[in-house]
Amino acid sequence: MVNVKDKIASLDGVKIAETFEYVCSNPAQERIKKAVKEQGLNRVVVASCSPRMHLETFRQAVKSAGMNPYFLEMANIREQCSWVHDDKSKATNKAIALVRAAVRRAQYLEPLTPSKLKVTESVLVIGGGIAGINSALELADKGYQVYLVERNPSIGGHMSQLSKTFPTFDCSACILTPRMVTVAQHPSIKILTNAEPIAVKGSAGNYEVDVKIKPRYVDTAKCIACGECTQKCPVKKPSSFEENLVEEKAIYRPFKQAIPNASVIDKDYCLHFTKGVCGICQKFCKSEAINFNQEEEIMELKVGAIIVSTGYTLMDPHLIGQYSFGFHPDIITNLQFERLMLQGLHKPSNGEVPKKVAFILCVGSRAAIAEGVGYCCKIGCMTAIKQALLLGKSVPDAEPWIFYTDVRAHGKGYEEFYTKAREHLTTFIRGRAAEVIPNGSHLIVKAEDTLLGKQIEEPFDMVVLSPALIPNKGTKELAYMLGIDLGPDDFFLEAHHKLRGVETKREGMYVAGASQGPKDVRETTMESMAAASKVATFLGKGEISVSPEVAYLVPDRCDLCGICIDKCPTKAIGRGKKEVILDTVSCIGCGLCVPICPKEALDLKNTTDKQLVAQIKGIVEGDEATPKIIAFVEKMTAYGSADLGGQSRRSYSPEIRIVRIPSIGRLGIKHVLHAFAAGADGVVFVEGDDGLLKEDKLREHVIQFKKDLGKFRIQSLRLQSTTTTLPQYEKILALFDDFVERIRKLGPITQEKREEVKKFLEGEKNGP
Amino acid sequence: MVHEKTEHDEEVKTVQQVVNSESGKDFLREVMKMPGGEKILGCIQCGTCAGGCPTRFAMDYSPMQIIKMINLGMKRDVLSSSTIWVCSACYTCATRCPRNVSFTTLMMSLKNRAILENMVENSVDSNFHKYFFEVVNKYGRIHEPELLVKLMDKTDLRSLQHNANLGLRLLKKGKLRMRAPKTEQNKWVNNMLEKTSEKVSQ
């Protein structure tokens, strides 16, 4: 039988080939170091287990021998060869092919060093609700400079509007406002209200953010919040803090505990701005705080990390027409009910105390229609139960009815809270209300009690709707500005649903609270703490290490067509003067930009075109297997899946040779053609399920390749693609078997076709 | 039309047996292919349809329950229910359904199915459906007196006597025409009905 060691030793450039029982053991590593030093080696290839297992071990070994760690290359002949093939001679051939490919690739390896980057030790928190407040406090206490940017004139968010919180009946303002005061007084926190970020530049660790501060026309430093101006102001407007239930003046304080505690002028209503008259507030202000000439200001902030906690807003209940919202003043939202409770519970129509109140849940939630949203609002059930109990407390012989679809009492103490509501004689009707009919001073609710199978028609004094929670206004624009993703529900998307819940796909950017999805105060608070902790971990060492495996520009080739700029998933490519600018910190080394460049001006370090082509040729040239098949496998999930197949000793066709690449998107048609020209008969792509090419994108990618192959009369059946999750190794290995069978039936590609492709590739090389 | 004994009488009776039976699942799959049945798996049984249904009082099962029964494969109970005949096709449920189930369309499909499967109880509702189309097919448009006579003849002849006065008053005001209507495009209507019935029987 052929001996792998002898075969490899005879290859060009190989100075020494040795075998060892356990290469990862200390004596073996010492042997490698000794060989490097004594023989003056400049490349090392280790053919053993999966690089997922010991790549770092061997890199450290050669590094300690004085060699650049990226001069080490591995061939996986255990998980993907010896453990999975029964036919010894075929497996030996495969091992030779894999090691040969590694040797060929090693000749083109370049020295790389991870760079260190100093970070700015300050943080921007966007959104001053309970999430932003908590994150800011946590980080400021850890010693970071924090900028808390809030769009409204006061921080506090939705929590400041609530009466009491479920399930403990804590007074919302009593637990929130002390924190607001602490934030305001903290020396390391700068609050910017009436402000919004408008541009973000830079990269993780060193972001530059432009924040637009809208004029408030009142100097917060001078204003003593005496309220004189508000008393004298002649213009009234609906109060947004009171959910438009009452009116306030055009110069107003958002609410009593507002931070900053100063008045603000609403430009859309103030007579000075609308008609150019009045100015009475200025006359009466003793501290001369009012300044009509205040102008918009742009502030440049330098921060190392950004936390997004922009929260939610309620869906407009007008959209669900059958509930007659807007047709009767006593049909209100649950947030309006909160305000009514704090004002002293009354009917907006006539000021009487409501006795019989209907709470209608799932207004626009859990829907598949255009007007609604698909997800559950998560807080509606508990809010309605809380409000029903509070109604019972404040109004003798009150009659709360809750029309629910399913009661979701999932948190700590929530189920008990639900029980309490039943014990307090809240009427629960299982059935989504069908319609609300205003009838004079009464409101008639029609619904089906689905448990009894009977229709109900009941008159009520007041109807409280629980509208769906949707992302706050401007979420889309902010996501685009920051270069982070939105999920299918339009909320911000976390990096991983289970394990990386507050991180985004862009390093240095984090998300917390209801801007990531509907949630209650408790969950929001915990997420804001988690985000703060992640930021501290990221900035804590003062510098970050940046992987050298990133895209780079081949000088003088770029003509600034800009195709790559849109393709980059992390916004790492920007437009420069003569050529594009690559941000090596934001780049995640996926290589998506490389094959799409028409000028071949981009390449990826440690997976360069030269290295890839050498590896492809190394696998098939001189290989005795028939048919010859190359499987390009995404390096994390998909490659791990193939390894898992090896660990499970699931045997499959030995004709498959796996090449590990960062993403299928790294490959261009060129690489596929090289494979066929060099002697391959079939090519398989396996992308990780969580990879950068999602299933539909991968399909697009592959269809284009198949069309291109058609030009060379190579059957499209010779190219196959799939995605896999880590545990799904059975799927890809079965696909390997089927594919080998298919290619065997198709037979080898004729030599003429290969020559044609070869000629084309050579023409390309001499071309542009 | 009297319900005749069919193969369905041998079908399993209890819900538990139906749920897991192949025939039950087949029925679900069939309904999902019918017009209006495409989205029934999205139903979350919220009851919006039933709550607003104006003819719910006359139904033996609510629209929501019909969907649940289809899900469980209770073919016999669904096709012999009064619900599908009582539905007045007002589209209230379909308009409000948060899950986009086209319930009214589904009712039409189930009516057709019930006739094809010979599962129609001899009731005013089902006969109305039948004679309505018979008359339309004959004249190309509706002819009320003939429809009324046919319907009452099959169901309750005595009601003709009871309603004689009302009929006379309608005649006097010209609301009822004794002479059969003539339409030039009768053939088109016939063709249309023929084609749709072909489609249904497929």
Q: Which residue of A has its CA nearest to B55?
A: A455
The angle that helices B124-139 and B103-116 make with each other, rounded to 10 degrees, is 90
Residues A262 and A199 in one domain: yes
Residues A107 and A139 in one domain: no
Residues A650 and A767 in one domain: yes
Chain B contact for A376 (CB, 8 A cutoff): no
How confident is the model at residue B201, as a pLDDT? 60
Chain B contact for A434 (CB, 8 A cutoff): yes
Residues of chain B with pLDDT under 70: 1-22, 121-124, 199-202
Say how many domains are in chain A: 5
Task: With respect to residue A350, please indicate whether it lies within any of the assigned structural domains.
Answer: yes
Kindly report the CATH number assigned to the domain that includes residue A453: 3.50.50.60
Chain B contact for A274 (CB, 8 A cutoff): no
Q: Which of A377, A449, A450, A457 to mutate to test the interface with B (most CBs of B within 10 A)?
A: A450
Q: Which of B46, B49, B92 to mutate to test the interface with A (most CBs of A within 10 A)?
A: B46
The angle that helices A414-423 and A380-394 make with each other, rounded to 10 degrees, is 40
Chain A contact for B44 (CB, 8 A cutoff): yes
Kindly report the CATH number assigned to the domain that includes residue A567: 3.30.70.20
Single out the residue in A92, A114, A136 at which a domain terminates.
Answer: A114
Q: Which domain holds residue A47?
A: 1-114
Single out the residue in A44, A79, A114 at which a domain terminates.
Answer: A114
Chain A contact for B163 (CB, 8 A cutoff): no
Task: With respect to residue A615, please indicate whether it lies within any of the assigned structural domains.
Answer: no
Task: With respect to residue A27, please indicate whether it lies within any of the assigned structural domains.
Answer: yes
Kindly report the CATH number assigned to the domain that includes residue A633: 3.40.50
Stated as kind and residue range, the H or E segment containing A684 is strand A682-688
| pTM over 0.90, yes/no | no
Which chain B residues are within 8 Å of A406, Cβ to Cβ? 44
Chain B contact for A370 (CB, 8 A cutoff): no
Task: With respect to residue A502, please indicate whether it lies within any of the assigned structural domains.
Answer: no
SS3 for A403? strand
Q: Kindly determine whether residue B46 and residue A405, on different chains, have CB atoms separated by under 8 Å.
A: yes
B50: closest CA among A361, A465, A438, A405? A405
Residues A164 and A273 in one domain: yes
Chain A contact for B98 (CB, 8 A cutoff): yes
Chain A contact for B66 (CB, 8 A cutoff): no
Task: With respect to residue A501, please indicate whether it lies within any of the assigned structural domains.
Answer: no
Which chain A residues are within 8 Å of B44, Cβ to Cβ? 366, 405-406
Residues A102 and A237 in one domain: no
Stated as kind and residue range, the H or E segment containing A341 is helix A334-343
Residue A472's Cβ-side half-sphere holds a number of Cα atoms within 13 Å equal to 20
SS3 for A752? helix
Q: Which domains does chain B have, with CATH numbers?
A: 7-116 (1.10.1060), 124-201 (no CATH)
Q: Which of A361, A362, A381, A432 to mutate to test the interface with B (most CBs of B within 10 A)?
A: A432
Chain B contact for A402 (CB, 8 A cutoff): no
Residues A129 and A204 in one domain: yes
Residues A306 and A293 in one domain: yes
Torsion over CA: A522, A523, A528, A529 (sign): positive
State the amino acid at position A553 in one-letter form.
L
Residues A134 and A80 in one domain: no
Q: How far is B153 from chain A (nearest CA, A)?
A: 34
Query: Of chain A residues 454-513, which have a CB less than 8 A from chain B?
Result: 455-456
Residues A291 and A340 in one domain: no
Residue A515 per-residue DSSP state: G
Give the Cα separation of A657 and A17 in Å (integer). 22
Contacts of A505 (CB under 8 A, 6+ apart): A484, A485, A493, A495, A569, A570
- What number of C-beta contacts closer than 8 Å exist between A and B? 76
Task: With respect to residue A500, please indicate whether it lies within any of the assigned structural domains.
Answer: no
Single out the residue in A62, A80, A114 at which a domain terminates.
Answer: A114
Q: How far is A376 from chain B (nearest CA, A)?
A: 12
Residues A633 and A742 in one domain: yes
- 3-state secondary structure string across A42-75: CCEEEEECCHHHHHHHHHHHHHHCCCCHHHEEEE
Task: With respect to residue A404, please indicate whether it lies within any of the assigned structural domains.
Answer: yes
Chain A contact for B40 (CB, 8 A cutoff): no
H and E: helices and strands count for chain B: 13, 0
Residues of chain A with pLDDT under 50: 767-768
Which of A368, A372, A448 has its CB closest to that of B47?
A448
ipTM of the complex: 0.77
Task: With respect to residue A35, please indicate whether it lies within any of the assigned structural domains.
Answer: yes
Chain A contact for B50 (CB, 8 A cutoff): yes
Residues A201 and A237 in one domain: yes
How confident is the model at residue A583, as a pLDDT? 87
Give the Cα separation of A443 and A437 in Å (integer). 6
Give the Cα separation of B8 and B23 in Å (integer). 10
Which chain A residues are within 8 Å of B56, Cβ to Cβ? 448, 455
Residues A558 and A527 in one domain: no
Q: Kindly determine whether residue A432 and residue B39, on different chains, have CB atoms separated by under 8 Å.
A: no
Contacts of B148 (CB under 8 A, 6+ apart): B160, B163, B167
How confident is the model at residue B12, as a pLDDT? 42
Chain B contact for A588 (CB, 8 A cutoff): no
